[in-house]
């Protein structure tokens, strides 16, 4: 038994498997199988193994851990994020402390500029943005607030992603910064999206040009992937990479399943497909030390096909002669990255959630499995809470 497990661990942790075909059937039993090695799956695995003493098998169809937070060195030796820029931020000391068990941090505060017809201005909109854009000299928060109030168009009730912005800054600034970007990013007008989407981005009357104001803002010192490797490095955890759940669900008996993939896929799209938005990432390396003044430049103009450009050296502090960038092109097809927040999608999700609630031996965790537009820290918080509930349930079952 132990030998077989060691063998799986040895094979899988260091040499990602491309296909499970040809594998001898492993007649081992796991307490828990976990589908997905992203934040949701890795936190569940770490807690179940290290705190709960459970034997866990983690399966991911991608050939690497870390899910969408995966980073690695590209051909130029620059640490890049394969699936677009990931910046860690949270207000929760508990979540920050939990992750701090697996990584040191590099202090980093994210700053974003928007390219408005070639002029780079701070995003979120702040007093500097207004002064630059309109050639003004607004000196106080009160002056900036009065300027915005003179342009804001009251909307009652505030329901959509257009309403939120127009009621705060008026139609012109809405069109400049939000309408085109959102149409590109989501393939629909902001008026068709729940208000929660653009409400992620605040409007400021001060000159704070940070993208986030959370108490904790930092990047894992050696990258996200290294942090995940440490989380998953436990004798109770085996890892199968490059393997789809559908191909191994029967091969590895387990008492409980944690599923972090798309919930509609788990149920065979029984009620139809849940919409997810995708992106195509174009990674480029330039023969220049620096390309842009900050990590991310947003392109709100609808005529530009990408939404934003990331230059990783700003995030990581890496020093090199060359620099690597990622251009994000939104797409209707491809890997599911974003649940699309609108009422009809939520209603469809609720039907799948009802099926999920009727499966006592499966926990659904994470952005795809609970169809929530969650940041990394929210997924960690959700997984920690799910683990607490699950460990109580497993203890009750064991006592029966
Ligand atoms: P995922 O990371 O998607 O992991 C799910 C895993 O399950 C995947 O690796 C997938 O391959 C695997 N899987 C699915 N189905 C199967 C199957 N059938 N068999 C085997 N494996 C399967 N958050 C922030 O906090 N800050 C940011 O700056 C930030 N930037 C982002 C930028 C982009 C472009 C995107 C798309 C997201 C960003 N996020 C950011 C959000 C962050 O990526 C997510 O909150 C987090 O990664 C979700 O973790 P997860 O485990 O739920 O899902
Ligand atoms: N948004 C926008 N213009 C911007 C930045 C954001 O219109 O310059 C809108 C857009 O709809 C986007 C949403 O606000 O999808 C949330 O932005 P955020 O930067 O949080 O998106 P994420 O990093 O999750 O892709």
Query: Which ligand approaches the C-alpha of residue 67 most closely?
Result: 1
DSSP-derived 3-state class of residue 349: helix
For the cut 50, the answer to whether the pLDDT of residue 17 exceeds it is: no
Is the CB of 264 within 6 Å of ligand 1? no
Instruction: Clarify whether residues 194 and 233 are in a common domain.
Output: no
pLDDT classification of 397: cutoffs 50, 70, 90:
confident
Query: Which of 84, 110, 260, 384 has most ligand 1 atoms within 8 Å of its beta carbon, as the pocket-test mutant?
Result: 260
- Please give the mean pLDDT across all residues of the chain: 93
Q: Alpha helices of the chain — where are they, by DSSP H?
A: 2-14, 39-46, 93-100, 127-134, 141-151, 161-174, 180-186, 224-232, 245-248, 263-266, 313-316, 343-357, 376-399
* Interval between CA 372 and ligand 2 midpoint (Å): 15
Report the side by side order of strands in the sheet with 296-298: 119-123, 112-116, 296-298, 308-311, 323-331, 276-286, 338-339
Structural domain of residue 178, as residue ranges?
Answer: 137-199
ipTM over 0.95: yes
Gap from CA of 373 to ligand 2 centroid (Å): 12
Residues 165 and 263 in one domain: no
Check residue 252 and give its pLDDT: 87
pLDDT at 66 over 80: yes
Q: For residues 307-332, give the mean pLDDT.
A: 98
pLDDT, mean of residues 250-275:
96
pLDDT category at 144 given cuts 50, 70, 90 is: very high
Kindly state whether residue 18 falls inside one of the protein's structural domains. Answer: yes
pLDDT of residue 28: 66
Residues 160, 35 share a domain:
no
CA distances from 76 to 65, 312, 324 (A): 22, 12, 8
Q: Are residues 168 and 264 in the same domain?
A: no
267 and 394 co-located in one domain: yes
Q: How many of the other CB atoms lie within 10 Å of CB of 104?
A: 11
Binned at pLDDT 50, 70 and 90, residue 23 comes out as very low
- What's the pLDDT score for residue 27? 43
User: What is the number of the ligand 2 atom nearest to the C-alpha of 165?
Assistant: 7
Please write the tens of the pLDDT for every residue from 80-110.
999 999 999 999 999 999 999 999 999 999 9
Q: Indicate if the pLDDT at residue 341 is higher than 60.
A: yes
Please indicate whether residue 23 or residue 227 has the higher confidence score (pLDDT): 227
- Number of domains composing the chain: 2
Query: Is 357 within a domain?
Result: yes
CATH number at residue 230: 3.40.50.720
Give the span between the Cα atoms of 379 and 385, in whole angstroms. 10
Question: Does the C-beta of 74 come closer than 6 Å to ligand 1?
Answer: no
- Counting ligands in written order, the one closest to the CA of 374 is 1
Same domain for 383 and 263: yes
Same domain? For 164 and 255 the reply is no
**Residue 98 domain-assigned (yes or no):** no
Q: Are residues 50 and 160 in the same domain?
A: no
Q: Pull the structure tokens for residue 386.
A: 């799910």
Predicted pLDDT at 16: 37
Alpha carbon nearest to ligand 1 atom 49, residue: 39
144 lies in the same domain as 233: no
- Rounded to an integer, what distance in angstroms lies between the CA atom of residue 143 and that of residue 368? 43
- 62 with 8, same domain: the answer is yes
Higher pLDDT, 17 or 69: 69
Over pLDDT 70: what percentage of the chain? 93
327 within a domain of the structure (yes/no): no
pLDDT at 1 over 70: no
Per-residue model confidence (pLDDT) at position 400: 85
Residues 227 and 171 in one domain: no
Residues 266 and 386 both lie in one domain: yes
For 109-127, the pLDDT digits (tens) are 999 999 999 999 999 999 9
């Amino acid at each position: 038994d132990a030998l077989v497990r060691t063998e799986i661990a040895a094979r899988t942790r260091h040499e990602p498997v491309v296909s499970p075909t040809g594998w001898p059937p492993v007649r081992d039993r796991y307490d828990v199988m976990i589908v997905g090695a992203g934040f949701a799956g890795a936190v569940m695995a770490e807690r179940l193994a290290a705190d709960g003493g459970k034997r866990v098998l983690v399966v991911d169809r991608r050939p690497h851990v870390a899910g969408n937070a995966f980073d690695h060195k590209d051909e130029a030796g620059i640490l890049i994020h394969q699936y677009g820029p990931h910046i860690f931020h949270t207000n929760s000391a508990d979540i920050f402390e939990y992750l701090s068990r697996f990584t040191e941090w590099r202090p980093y505060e994210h700053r974003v500029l928007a390219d408005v017809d070639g002029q780079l201005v701070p995003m979120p909109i702040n007093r500097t943005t207004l002064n630059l854009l309109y050639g003004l000299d607004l000196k106080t928060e009160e002056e900036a607030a009065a300027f915005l109030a003179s342009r804001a168009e009251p909307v009652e009730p505030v329901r959509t992603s257009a309403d939120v912005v127009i009621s705060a800054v008026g139609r012109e600034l809405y069109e400049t910064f939000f309408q085109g970007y959102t149409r590109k990013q989501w393939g629909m007008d902001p008026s068709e999206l729940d208000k929660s989407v653009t409400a992620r981005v605040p409007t400021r009357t001060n000159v704070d040009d940070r993208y986030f104001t959370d108490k904790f803002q930092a990047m894992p010192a050696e990258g996200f992937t290294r942090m995940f490797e440490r989380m998953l490095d436990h004798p109770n955890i085996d890892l199968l990479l490059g393997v789809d759940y559908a191909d191994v669900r029967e091969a590895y008996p387990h008492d409980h399943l944690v599923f972090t993939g798309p919930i509609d896929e788990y149920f065979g799209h029984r009620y139809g497909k849940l919409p997810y938005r995708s992106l195509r990432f174009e990674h480029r390396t330039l023969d220049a030390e620096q390309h842009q003044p900050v990590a991310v430049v947003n392109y709100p103009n609808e005529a530009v096909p990408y939404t934003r450009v990331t230059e990783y050296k700003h995030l990581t502090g890496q020093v090199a002669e060359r620099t690597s960038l990622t251009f994000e092109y939104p797409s209707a097809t491809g890997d599911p990255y974003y649940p699309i927040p609108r009422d009809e999608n939520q209603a469809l999700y609720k039907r799948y959630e009802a099926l999920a609630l009727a499966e006592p031996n499966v926990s659904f965790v994470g952005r795809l499995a609970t169809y929530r537009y969650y940041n990394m820290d929210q997924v960690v918080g959700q997984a920690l809470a799910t683990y607490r509930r699950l460990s109580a349930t497993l203890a009750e079952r064991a006592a029966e």
